[in-house]
Amino acid sequence: MSTKQIVKRMYDEYIKKYIFKILLAAFFSILVAGSTSATAWLLDPAIENIFLNKDKALIYIIPLAIIVAFSTKGISLYLAKILMIQISEEVKKMLQINMLKSFINADTQIIESKHTGKYISNLSFDVDQITRMLAEAFLSIFKDGLTLIGLLTVMFFQNWKLSLIAIIMIPLATIIARKLGKRMGKVATEAQEKSGHLNRYFVDLFKNHKIIKIFQRENYENIRSEDYVNALKDKSIKIRSVYLRSTPIMEVLTGFMIALLIFYSGHLIISGELNINNFFSFLAAMMLAYQPVKSLTKVNIAISQGLSAAKRILPIIDIKNEIEKNESSEEIKLTDGTITFENINFQYYSNPDNQVLKNVSIKINGGKMTALVGHSGSGKSTLLNMIPRIYNPTSGSVKIDNQDLSKFNLSSIRKQISIVDQNTTLFDDTVFNNIKYAQPDASEKEIFNAAKLSMSEEFINNLENGYETKIGENGVKLSGGEKQRLSIARAFLKQSRIILLDEATSSLDSNTEEKIQHAIEELIYNKTTIVIAHRLSTILNSDNIYVMQKGEILDSGKHEELLNKSNAYRNFYEKQIQK
C-alpha cells in the first residue's frame, strides 16, 4: 500500500467525519496566527509613537492591544488543541475497535500465525503513533503554518530586503525535515518490532511463570528481560535522538541568520533605508517565526511515524478470511448427523511444507461414538477442528449428512456442535457467566442443571461466592479438573447434535474421571460423538476407532478387532492396560 493510498484511506474512513471540528481547529489556528503576527506588528507603532514621539494616548491603547493579542492566542491555541485531541482519540478508538473486530472474526490459523505480543504492540504502540500524528502534527500544520505566513507578511511589510534573507532558512529547514522524516520512519518501524518482542516476552512470562519456578530459571529470565527492555530502550533513544537532531541544526541556522540580519540591517539603518522601529518589529516577527519553523521541521517526522504505523495496522484491519461465514447461504439441516471426510489434505499457513493430513477419507456414523487414536502430532485434533470449520481443508471436503459444509451458513453449522477441548479456555469472569457463555439466553435453571450433570455443582458450592465467584485469568483459581468440568458443563448447556471430545477427561484424576464418565455418556446419548483420547480405557466401547499416524489413517474397527489386526493400536493398548 503506497503512502498516497494510506493517506486517502485514513482520511476517507477515519478523519472525514470530523471535518467540521478540523475546520473549527483551523479557524482557531488562524486566530493564533493573527494574534502572534499582531504582537510583532504592534512593536512598530509602540516604538515610533510611544518611545520616539512620546504619544500619551497610545501608551494605554497599545499595551491593551498586546494583552488582547496574547489572550486571543492563548484561548485559541487551547481550543484548537482540545479539538484535535478529541479527534485523535476518536480515531484511536475506531482503529482499536476495528482491529479488535478483525482479531475476533479472523480465522484461527491467522491468529495462530503471529505471537500475541506482536498484536498487542500493533494495538498500543502503532495506534499511539497515529494518535500523535493527528493530535500534534496536523495541528502544527495549521497553527505553525498559518503563523509563519502571518509573520512573514509582517516581515515583508517592514522590509522586503531583510525578509528575502530571512526566508532562506525555510527551504533549508524543509530539506532537513525531509531527511529526518525518512530516517524516523525506519527507526519507528524498528522500535515497533522491539516493542512487539517485549510484549511477546511479557505474555510468555505470565503464561509460563510456574515453569520458570519449577526449573529455577529466574536468573536466566532476568537476563532475558533486561535484553528485551534494553533493545527497546536503545530504539527509543534512537527515535528521540533523531527527533532532536533538528534542534541544534535550527539553532545554528538561526544564529547565522540573526547575525547576518543585524549586520545587513545595521548598514540599512546607517544609510537611512530602515528605521529603528521597523527593525525591531521585523526582528520580533523573525524571532517569533523561529518557533513555528522549528515545529514544522518536526511535523514531517511525526507524520512519517504515523504513516509507518498505519502501514502496519491497516493490513490487520483488512485481514481476509479463508473461511467464509456464508451468511446469505442456506442453513444446514441435520438428519442423523453422519460426518464424512473425503480426500482431506491440510497444511498450516505458517508451515506450508509440512503436510499435516494426507488424503484422509473416513466416515463418522450419526448417533454413534467414534474415536481417533494416535501419537501427538498425528493430525487428530486438526481433523476434529474441520467439523466446526475452525480450519478448512487445503483440499477435499467435509460433509454432514452428505451436505458440503463449505456451502452452508457457518453459524447454523456451529450451532449443531459442542466441543470439550484438552486446552480448556475460561474467561476472567464468574463461574455462572463462564457456563452461560455457551448459550447466552439460557435460564438459571438450565445453567444449574448443566453444572449438576457435569459434576461441577459440588466444587462450585464450595467456592467462596458459589456461582458468582470470579475464577481469574483462564480459571487460575480452579484446578485442572474443575476447569475441564466447566467446559463439559458448557457442552451440556448447548445441547448440540454433534459432540467433539478432545482429551475431555485428560485433567481428571481416576476417581473424578470414573464419576464423570456417566455424565458424558448421558451427554453423548444418541448424538454423533468423536472422541480423542490417549487413555484407551475411555474409548473401549466406541462404535468405531480410527488409528492415525503422521496424518494418515492406518486402521479402523472396534477395539477387539483392532487388537487382532493393528500393530500400532495393540502397542497403544499394551503400554496402557497391560502394565
Is residue 243 scored above 70 in pLDDT? no
Nearest CA-CA partner of 534 in 499, 496, 502, 557: 502
Q: Which residues pair with 374 in a beta bridge?
A: 548
Q: How far apart are CA 516 and CA 505, in angstroms?
A: 8
Helix (H) or strand (E) holding 294: helix 276-317
What is the model's pLDDT at position 545? 92
Q: What is the mean pLDDT of the chain?
A: 83
Cell of 158: 517592514
Contact criterion met (CB below 8 Å) for 519 and 450: no
Q: How far apart are CA 515 and CA 522, in angstroms?
A: 12
| Percent of the chain topping pLDDT 90 | 20
Cell of 104: 475476533
Assign 507 a pLDDT band (cuts: 50, 70, 90).
low
Per-residue pLDDT averaged across 527-540, rounded?
81
Cell of 169: 532558512
CA angle 294, 299, 305 (to 5 degrees): 140
| Grid-cell match 471436503, residue found | 397
Nearest CA-CA partner of 76 in 38, 110, 48, 42: 38
Query: Within a 10 A sphere around the Cβ of 444, how many other Cβ atoms?
Result: 10
Per-residue pLDDT averaged across 218-241, rounded?
82
Dihedral angle of Cα 372, 376, 377, 379, to the nearest 10 degrees: 10
Q: At what angle do helices 218-244 and 169-207 cross, to 10 degrees?
A: 170
Assign 130 a pLDDT band (cuts: 50, 70, 90).
confident
Is residue 386 scored above 70 in pLDDT? yes
pLDDT tens sequence across 406-465: 999 998 998 999 888 877 788 888 999 999 988 888 999 999 999 988 888 888 999 889
- The residues, any chain, with a CB within 8 Å of residue 444's CB and separated by 6 or more, are none
Assign 158 a pLDDT band (cuts: 50, 70, 90).
confident
Q: Which of 19-28, 275-284, 351-360, 470-479 has the lowest mean pLDDT?
A: 275-284
- The residues, any chain, with a CB within 8 Å of residue 203's CB and separated by 6 or more, are 115, 116, 117, 120
| Grid-cell match 500400532, residue found | 568
Domains of the chain (ranges, CATH numbers): 3-317 (1.20.1560.10), 326-416+530-579 (3.40.50.300)
Q: How far apart are CA 401 and CA 404, in angstroms?
A: 9
What is the model's pLDDT at position 24? 94
Task: Report helix, strand or coil for 396.
Answer: strand
What is the model's pLDDT at position 83? 92
Check residues 60 and 131 and name the one with the higher pLDDT.
Answer: 131
Tell how strand 528-532 and strand 552-557 pair up: unpaired
Q: Is 342 left (phi over 0), alpha (psi -120 to 50) or beta?
A: beta
Q: How far apart are CA 399 and CA 216, in angstroms?
A: 49
User: Residue 430 gets which letter from DSSP?
Assistant: B
Q: In the chain, what is the greatest distance between 2 CA atoms, to the nearest angstrom? A: 120
- The residues, any chain, with a CB within 8 Å of residue 333's CB and separated by 6 or more, are 401, 403
Per-residue pLDDT averaged across 144-155, rounded?
84
Is residue 7 scored above 90 in pLDDT? no
Is residue 215 scored above 70 in pLDDT? no
Q: How far apart are CA 247 and CA 264, in angstroms?
A: 25
Check residues 398 and 150 and name the one with the higher pLDDT.
Answer: 398
Q: How far apart are CA 175 and CA 173, in angstroms?
A: 5
Is residue 79 scored above 90 in pLDDT? yes
| Grid-cell match 485442572, residue found | 480
Cell of 216: 529455577
Break the chain down into helix, strand, coil percent, rounded to 5.
Answer: 65, 10, 25
What is the model's pLDDT at position 195? 75
| pTM for this model (two decimals) | 0.75
| Exposed/middle/buried for residue 116 (C-beta within 10 Å: 0-12, 13-18, 19+) | middle
pLDDT tens sequence across 46-58: 776 666 677 676 7
What is the model's pLDDT at position 458? 84
Per-residue pLDDT averaged across 205-219, rounded?
72
Task: Report helix, strand or coil for 228.
Answer: helix
Check residues 441 and 125 and name the one with the higher pLDDT.
Answer: 441
Is residue 273 scored above 70 in pLDDT? yes
Cell of 264: 545587513
